[in-house]
């Protein structure tokens, strides 16, 4: 299934497990190492639309500067969160899997099975 995409961080155990799970099921996804490629505003907006969530819902707090940057403040707008995610891609929760069936932040990894 070449129409599967995973936004992947190889340093993340859950991301590695999700990729392995997809491959174990015979799916070879397109792998995007988003920490290397970064994000664009249209890309994040499209991804949020596919996920059906706000930027706050995919904000990664653990192991990031999110709190120090004021991004955990409920008053922080989606526009501010997206701008921060573009500047520091690690602020996006991972892994995110996109298939013709939909998209999900696959935490736990088994959520990916609902998309294939």
Q: What would the pLDDT profile of 50-97 be if each residue is shown by its tens digit?
A: 999 999 999 999 999 999 999 999 999 999 999 999 999 999 999 999
CB of 86 closer than 8 Å to CB of 38: yes
Cβ(96)–Cβ(7) under 8 Å?
yes
Catalytic residue of the set 4, 6, 8, 12? 12
Q: Please say if 106 is a catalytic residue.
A: no
The answer to whether the bond into 105 is cis (omega within 30° of 0) is: no
pTM above 0.85, yes or no: yes
DSSP class of residue 59 equals: B
Token pair in block for residue 107: 């935490």
For 15-56, write each residue's pLDDT tens digit: 999 999 999 999 999 999 999 999 999 999 999 999 999 999
pLDDT for position 100: 95
């Amino acid at each position: 299934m070449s129409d599967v995409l995973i936004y992947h961080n190889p340093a993340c155990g859950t991301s590695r497990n999700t990729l392995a799970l997809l491959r174990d099921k015979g799916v070879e996804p397109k792998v995007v190492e988003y920490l290397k490629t970064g994000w664009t505003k249209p890309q994040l907006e499209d991804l949020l639309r596919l996920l059906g969530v706000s930027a706050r819902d995919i904000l990664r707090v653990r192991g990031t500067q999110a709190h120090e940057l004021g991004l955990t403040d409920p008053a922080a707008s989606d526009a501010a969160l997206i701008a921060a995610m573009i500047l520091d891609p690690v602020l996006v929760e991972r892994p995110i899997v996109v298939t013709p069936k939909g998209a999900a932040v696959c935490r736990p990894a088994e959520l990916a099975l609902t998309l294939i």
